[in-house]
Amino acid sequence: MELCTSSVSGSVQWSRISAFDYRTRSHGYASSSSWVSQRRRKTSFYVMNAASTGALPPTKKLIPRANVRNISGDKPSSALEQLDIERGVCIPFRKYTPEMVRNRVLGSRGSVLSLASRGVEIIWKLGLYWSALMYDFLVGRDEEIVPFRARQLRNLLCDLGPSFIKAGQVLANRPDIIREDYMNELCILQDDVPPFPNQVAFSIIEEELGQPLERLFSRISSRTIAAASLGQVYRATLRETGEDVAIKVQRPGIEPIIYRDLFLFRTLASFLNGISLQKLGCNAELIVDEFGEKLLEELDYTLEATNIEDFLENFKDDPTVKIPQVYKQYSGSRVLVMEWIDGIRCTDPQAIKEAGIDVEGFLTVGVSAALRQLLEFGLFHGDPHPGNIFAMRDGRIAYVDFGNVAVLSQQNKQILIDAVVHAVNEDYAEMANDFTRLGFLASGTDVSPIVPALEAIWQNSAGKGLADFNFRSVTGKFNQLVYNYPIRIPERFSLVIRSLLTQEGICFTLQPDFKFLEVAYPYVAKRLLTDPNPALRERLIQVLFKDGLFQWKRLENLIVLAKENVSKMSSNPALKKNSSQIERNRQMEKKLDLTDTIKDGARLFLIDAGIRRQLIMAFTEDSKLHVEELVDVYRLVEDQIDIPSVALEVIQDLPSVARDFMLSWSDSILSDRQY
């Protein structure tokens, strides 16, 4: 939801309120910081043992949708349990369960009559639309009239209310369910929703906060700043402090409508399970449960306030990212008051340039912030459309609207990194298995038919190089794959895809020749080389070895890219303008810190016989010593490493290494004696 832009704020009409009636330290991939958000959420979910997903049922053939007969295995005890397994989390306290929705709806007075009338309304309106589609197909004009039918569908969803508007927003990011031309039209629903009357909104604020509006705010805008499917936003000034704030107000009477529609959605889904299993490889109830879970989370503004606090904690040491403060004392379950962000909309390149903002530096900050959310924190903004991202005049990037955020478990993040490693190593069979582990394919599915398609997509896209690579072209090809095979895109990954596509689109709007991957690759390279987490160390080794041979050139490329990331971030204009914050929080990196990597490499060489054998072979491949390659690598890092301090740390670590070496040696002796 759009909270502010300079152009909007300049035209807002203010109303004086008088007497009218009317809530650890960052260490990368597996860091304590990456679980800050989950620290607050520890009553909501726990990380599952990865072994819980290890056992797979007998394999099932993956065949094109047109020929699918039955690809289902043993039905899980519930769709929600299947979602938990895919996510790698267990959620003991849910805001949504099918049973809770059913009990809430059927327990209300007049529920049968309300459900019947609403059901008739939905069936009648959707039936008329479906009949029009069938007529188009029979007369052979179904393709030429698609733009009109897509607009008709968007208007129909608006007419059916907030549940259907949210469903349309979800469908706008689900190529596994709806075709691309319809997706593009439904994207309009993210911004273009009619507001509800001011007097109703002001009454909700007073009811929720328990005080007259004029006692809390000295002024409030007479028009909404933004309106979305679940609520709308006003600009106001706190009477007590004089601070400008954004007030987000939930639409009136929306909760019972949402519950009623979810009950009807899931009832309908139970009749569509067979078709859904054929088309998507999962039952329709699972899709409704994913949708219902996120929708009820967005209805609770206290949860959104917690999301904001989590983002503030994650980015507290990053002077390039602005997250608004939340005022919990003025907020509740239907009202959220947060700091007003006076920024420039990201789709207005002229205004950004006129403000003196370095466009390339701003985009570099934005890409890095997005990748940190995804790969470091595991908590990312699920709706980063242009109305929710702003350029601050000091070069920082600002995010607003945290109702739709998604969490990636440690297990999911590791599998994503695995997929990247398998893509780099061109191991497409394992990449296909990664899709199964992430929930795109039903467990036990035979992935062999999808391997050639994945290979064709990746080689066609990666072969063009960084200059021509873009996520939209890859996603377009992947959408065709999704449409032809029983692949379902899990809701959290549809948000990941939308997030990457949207932010790449913003980059192209501001700077058409901006190369998204030229920023993303150096970031990933730096994490692979410097992250202390053992999981990433293992994946670094996988990247550096291919078919048993050490890839010297790949190591050199990683170092060059990682140095580029450090250089770009340390020289970013946003850092210079926020130098006081840097001094307060932490000194930004000026060099590529490889100290931990060197220490871990030395440790692995001494205690891991397999790694030691591989490295010795790397130095002696093709019956020659690879001294020249080693010298080339050293020249790349010599200006980045303080040799005396690294040597001192390695020496200090020797007792621990010696202990581990002895334990490893004794284990190998005992193991040999057993045989």
* Of 155, 170, 230, residue with least CA distance to 196: 230
Residue that is written with structure tokens 């449960």 in the block: 289
Angle at 147 between CA 144 and CA 149, to 5 degrees: 95
Distance of CA 289 to the CA centre of its chain: 19
What is the rounded CA–CA span in Å between residue 370 and residue 499? 8
Secondary structure (H, E, C), 465-480: CCCCCCHHHHHHHHHH
What is the rounded CA–CA span in Å between residue 506 and residue 389? 9
Q: What is the dihedral of CA 512, 515, 520, 525, to 10 degrees?
A: -170
Q: Are 417 and 410 in contact (CB under 8 A)?
A: no
* Of 338, 406, 343, residue with least CA distance to 378: 406
Catalytic, out of 318, 383, 427, 531: 383
* List of residues 6+ apart from 208 with CB closer than 8 A: 23, 332, 333, 334, 335
* List of residues 6+ apart from 334 with CB closer than 8 A: 204, 208, 249, 250, 301
Q: Are 259 and 104 in contact (CB under 8 A)?
A: yes
- State in Å, rounded, how far the first CA of the chain is from the last one: 65
Q: Are 382 and 331 in contact (CB under 8 A)?
A: no
* List of residues 6+ apart from 453 with CB closer than 8 A: 481, 485
* Of 567, 572, 244, residue with least CA distance to 396: 572
Q: What is the dihedral of CA 549, 554, 559, 560, to 10 degrees?
A: 160
* Of 396, 253, 234, residue with least CA distance to 321: 396
How many C-alpha atoms does 672 have within 13 Å on its Cβ side?
6
What is the rounded CA–CA span in Å between residue 180 and residue 65? 18
* Of 598, 488, 3, residue with least CA distance to 249: 3
Secondary structure (H, E, C), 236-283: EEECCCCCEEEEEEECCCHHHHHHHHHHHHHHHHHHCHHHHHHHHCCC
| Residue 90: strand, helix, or coil | strand
The residues with which 232 forms a beta bridge, in sequence order, are: 227, 249
Indicate the residue type of 8: V
Start-end of H helices in 332-427 = 349-354, 359-371, 410-424
383 among known catalytic residues: yes
Give the residue numbers marked as catalytic: 383
